[in-house]
Amino acid sequence: MATLRDILARKGGSVIAVRAADTVLQAATLMNEKGIGGLLVLDGSEPVGIFTERDVLRRIVASGRDPSETLVGDVMSAPVTLAGPELTLEACAALMTERRIRHLPVRDDSGLAGMVTIGDLLAHQVSEQQATIAQMTSYLYDVR
């Protein structure tokens, strides 16, 4: 059964993060530069929240706040949910659905191992389904 470790092995374990004391403008600029929809928020090396495009829309734009004056720590989603690398993808999907989250930091014994998104889970599922279809097609149509 596939685990979060399998996804991280394929996508890599780098985590792009900001500090709670950074401004929303700095965080949004970083998300744009990296082409990502969410950042882990750290206090030192400890995860304290997630900051996403949804936070920008709901807590900054809709509230008329100034992104250059607002701190990430004031508008991030917290507390952060963490998972271990041995969590199965099925359990991960259930956890993300139950908690209504799209970004899940993964921590192992040595610290942060990476971040898994709902898109990563979907991509893995599609890849597995394509492999299954290819195997079935080969079985049905390969005449030896």
Long-range contacts of 51-56 (CB under 8 A, 24+ apart): 51/18, 51/24, 51/27, 51/75, 51/76, 51/77, 52/77, 52/102, 52/103, 56/24, 56/28
- Identify the CATH assignment for 4-141 out of 3.40.50.1000, 3.30.365.10, 3.10.580.10, 3.40.190.10: 3.10.580.10
pLDDT tens string 89-107: 999 999 999 999 999 999 9
Put simply, whether the predicted model's pTM sits higher than 0.85 gets the answer no
Predicted local distance difference test score (pLDDT) of residue 143: 56
* Cα–Cα distance measured from residue 50 to residue 47, given in angstroms and rounded to the nearest whole number: 8
